[in-house]
């Protein structure tokens, strides 16, 4: 009762209405794209092009070194101009390939769309996932093929359509507009991988999506819809599995025969199976109180975000802005709008600067402990940042950096930062 069975979390304000007013728009005419040479946070990339090379839309321009040989594709056809550094969504500068768009959208090989997408063997399926660069589009950018390339039986596929972070609506809009395609893809994945059932997880309060899905699900006997409470971070893999399937696991859900995939990732799998299309574009939510026209936009990988914002009307004011890559809880505020679109960017959030409030000392109220979904004690970790043995006792490595401890603290202390330091110290020790 008091222990690990109760799920912790907080009901956050949704703030989703401002970006769901219109359908997903498209911005696909960037003059230059800057393809980040980074794959799943790893910058060890073999570059396969050089200056003045001509590349096709969708051709491989780099490949990750190491165990997961994920390719990086060009999102436009044109000439390679240079290599430059631009800001990635984690706030750091990353080397990028600068390609001049010739606006011809030329692909190397023209293929007709496949009529059915479930006639692949499992090996072919894994191969497609790998070579089309499918990664987790929920933000974690984990190489998707590695999730499915397992010897043990997969019993359940959980489709994560929860999108628990406030402001972000990319998954919702995509699911709403491409429902049939996504369901077809889920069905195909079940068949190809011999999975028994699929469970689509949505928030209880997401009435539009729930109604839409119940209309379609009649035709798919193996796909079920399960509602989860509107609590952040309900979309966190561990809590979602616990809520939907009532099991816990050590490191990966496959230990209990479960695979969790984000709904936008499923759509990119659909495009890969149907059109052999690699990951070269994604839906990004451009939102926040300081944007004139918040909306969801389909953008190419490598597009400069400042260009996109200008095309939709720009900012309400130009001073005292906070420009966040990602959502309000897990996103990072950047010093300028130099950001380029990458597979992991699900949201660009522009807010008014939050006034710094006077901090009091920690009064040990214990609220951070009550809300922590990872069941660790942030305040105690904060006190022992300099004692590495205590950090190990308090399991600082379990932190998922959801930000709820900082959110709830009455003394306005940024506790998450302390836990991050503790987590880093523990990881360095290993």
At residue 413, the 3 state secondary structure works out as coil
x-marked contacts with another protein along 249-288 as a string, rule CB under 8 A: ----------------------------------------
- Per rule CB under 8 A, is residue 398 in the interface with another protein? yes
Q: Which residues of 209-221 are buried (b: 16+ CB within 10 A; e: fewer)?
A: bbeebeeebeeee
- Per rule CB under 8 A, is residue 375 in the interface with another protein? yes
At residue 79, the 3 state secondary structure works out as strand
Q: How far is the CB of 40 from another protein (least distance, A)?
A: 22
User: How many other CB atoms are found less than 10 A from the CB of residue 205?
Assistant: 13
- Per rule CB under 8 A, is residue 351 in the interface with another protein? yes
> What is the torsion angle, in degrees rounded to the nearest 10, for the CA atoms of residue 135, residue 137, residue 141 and residue 143?
-20
- Per rule CB under 8 A, is residue 332 in the interface with another protein? yes
- Per rule CB under 8 A, is residue 12 in the interface with another protein? yes
Return d(Cα 31, Cα 292) in angstroms, integer. 23
With CB under 8 A as the contact rule, the residue among 143, 166, 302, 373 that binds another protein is: 166
Stretch that binds another protein, among 10-18, 120-128, 233-241, 293-301 (CB under 8 A): 10-18
With CB under 8 A as the contact rule, the residue among 9, 58, 302, 328 that binds another protein is: 328
**Of 255, 203, 242, whose CA–CA distance to 373 is shortest?**
242
With CB under 8 A as the contact rule, the residue among 110, 317, 335, 389 that binds another protein is: 335
Q: How far is the CB of 81 from another protein (least distance, A)?
A: 19
With CB under 8 A as the contact rule, the residue among 40, 395, 421, 425 that binds another protein is: 395
Return d(Cα 298, Cα 349) in angstroms, integer. 16
With CB under 8 A as the contact rule, the residue among 145, 148, 267, 394 that binds another protein is: 394
At residue 228, the 3 state secondary structure works out as strand
At residue 299, the 3 state secondary structure works out as strand
**Of 328, 261, 257, whose CA–CA distance to 289 is shortest?**
328
Contacting residues toward another protein, per CB under 8 A: 2-4, 10, 12-13, 91, 166, 306, 318, 320-324, 328-338, 349, 351, 353-354, 356-367, 369-370, 375-377, 379-380, 393-395, 398, 403, 406-408, 410-412, 414, 416-417
């Amino acid at each position: 009762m008091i222990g690990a069975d109760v799920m912790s979390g907080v009901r956050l304000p949704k703030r989703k209405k401002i970006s769901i007013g219109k359908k997903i728009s498209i911005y696909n005419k960037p003059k230059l794209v800057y393809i980040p040479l980074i794959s799943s946070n790893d910058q060890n990339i073999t570059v396969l092009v050089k200056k003045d090379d001509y590349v096709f839309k969708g051709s491989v321009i780099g490949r990750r070194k190491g165990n997961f040989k994920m390719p990086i594709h060009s999102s436009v056809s044109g000439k390679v101009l240079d290599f430059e550094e631009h800001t990635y969504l984690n706030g750091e500068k990353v080397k990028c390939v600068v390609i001049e768009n010739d606006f011809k959208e030329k692909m190397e090989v023209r293929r007709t769309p496949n009529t059915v997408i479930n006639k692949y063997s499992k090996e072919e399926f894994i191969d497609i996932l790998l070579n089309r660069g499918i990664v987790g589009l929920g933000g974690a950018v984990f190489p998707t093929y590695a999730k499915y390339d397992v010897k043990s039986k997969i019993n359940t596929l959980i489709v994560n359509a929860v999108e628990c972070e406030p402001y972000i609506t990319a998954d919702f809009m995509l699911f709403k507009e491409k429902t049939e395609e996504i369901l077809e893809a889920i069905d195909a994945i079940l068949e190809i991988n011999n999975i028994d059932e699929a469970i689509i997880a949505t928030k209880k309060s997401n009435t539009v999506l729930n109604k839409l899905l119940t209309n379609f699900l009649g035709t798919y006997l193996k796909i079920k819809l399960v509602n989860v409470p509107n609590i952040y971070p309900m979309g966190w893999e561990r809590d979602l599995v616990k809520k939907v399937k009532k099991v816990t696991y050590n490191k990966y859900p496959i230990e209990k025969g479960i695979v969790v995939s984000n709904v936008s990732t499923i759509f990119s799998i659909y495009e890969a199976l149907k059109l052999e299309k690699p990951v070269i574009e994604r839906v990004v939510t451009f939102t926040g109180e300081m944007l004139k026209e918040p909306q969801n936009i389909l953008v190419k990988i490598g597009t400069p975000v400042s260009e996109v914002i200008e095309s939709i009307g720009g900012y309400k004011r130009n001073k005292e802005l906070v420009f966040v890559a990602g959502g309000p809880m897990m996103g990072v505020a950047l010093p300028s709008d130099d950001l380029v679109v990458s597979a992991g960017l699900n949201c660009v959030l522009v807010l008014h600067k939050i006034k710094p409030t006077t901090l009091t000392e920690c009064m040990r109220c214990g609220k951070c402990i009550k809300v922590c979904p990872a069941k660790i004690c942030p305040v105690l970790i904060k006190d022992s940042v300099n004692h590495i043995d205590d950090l190990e006792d308090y399991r600082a490595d379990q932190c998922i950096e959801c930000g709820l401890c900082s959110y709830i603290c009455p003394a306005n202390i940024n506790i998450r930062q302390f836990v991050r330091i503790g987590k880093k110290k523990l990881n360095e020790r290993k």
